[in-house]
């Protein structure tokens, strides 16, 4: 029997950097699924602050938030306690500042830089592909983005 539903609010980001003439974005892999870095917002933390912290924890890099992209919503059953979770994730467009990608092996299996086309091919979740497309359409990920 399922436990009562609970709500979670998380934040994450589409992190980009210039690589020659191309723009690359960060993806992380956990449980054989490539996705955007994200995680729960801690008490007293802003969504922007949580996105920056989670990206740093999961990918080992420093970023700055450029702008809000959108929120996604989904439900799942928590493997830990079998409760139904209604999750909201707020995604931001984030500019890479410094650091080398390094997967936090307690949370993430792999990290990588991908061009946008390749990222959209390997990403596992349709709702996050929507976020990636929205980031690409914003103009920030095109050739002129620094």
Q: What pLDDT, on a 0 to 100 scale, did the predictor assign at position 1? A: 58
**How many helices (H) and strands (E) would you count in the chain?**
3, 7
Q: 83-98 and 62-77 as β-strands: parallel, antiparallel, unpaired? A: antiparallel
Q: Where are the alpha helices (DSSP H) in 60-142?
A: 116-122, 126-137
Give, in degrees to the nearest 5, the angle at Cα 75 between 71 and 80.
Answer: 120
Beta-sheet strands, E only, within 78-134: 83-98, 110-115
> What ranges do the domains of the chain cover?
3-134
C-beta of residue 14 within 8 angstroms of C-beta of residue 107: no
Task: Identify the bridge partners of residue 9 per DSSP, sorted by sequence position.
Answer: 88
Domain 3-134 sits in CATH 3.90.79.10 = yes
What are 41's two structure tokens? 């917002």
Residue 15, phi then psi, degrees to nearest 5 = -95, 130
Spatial separation of the C-alpha atoms in residues 50 and 45, rounded to whole Å = 6
Beta bridge partners of 65: 94
pTM of the model: 0.89
Q: What is the pLDDT along the chain (146 residues), one digit of tens a residue?
A: 556 689 999 999 999 998 888 899 999 998 889 999 999 999 999 999 999 999 999 999 999 999 999 999 999 888 888 889 999 999 999 999 999 888 666 778 899 999 999 999 999 999 999 999 999 988 766 644 43
3-state DSSP percent of the chain in helix, strand and coil, to 5: 20, 50, 30
Please tell me the predicted confidence (pLDDT) of residue 30: 87
């Amino acid at each position: 029997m399922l436990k009562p539903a609970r709500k979670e609010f998380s934040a994450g980001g589409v992190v980009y950097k210039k690589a020659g003439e191309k723009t690359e974005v960060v993806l992380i892999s956990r449980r054989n699924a490539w996705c955007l870095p994200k995680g729960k917002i801690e008490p007293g933390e802003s969504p922007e602050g949580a996105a920056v912290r989670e990206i740093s924890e999961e990918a080992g890099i420093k970023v700055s938030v450029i702008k809000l992209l959108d929120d996604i919503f989904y439900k799942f059953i928590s493997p830990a306690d079998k409760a139904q979770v209604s999750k909201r994730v707020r995604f931001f467009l984030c500019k890479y500042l410094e650091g080398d990608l390094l997967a936090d092996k307690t949370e993430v299996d792999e990290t990588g830089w991908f061009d946008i086309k390749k990222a959209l091919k390997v990403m596992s979740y349709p709702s996050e592909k929507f976020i990636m497309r929205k980031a690409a359409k914003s103009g920030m990920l095109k050739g002129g983005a620094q």
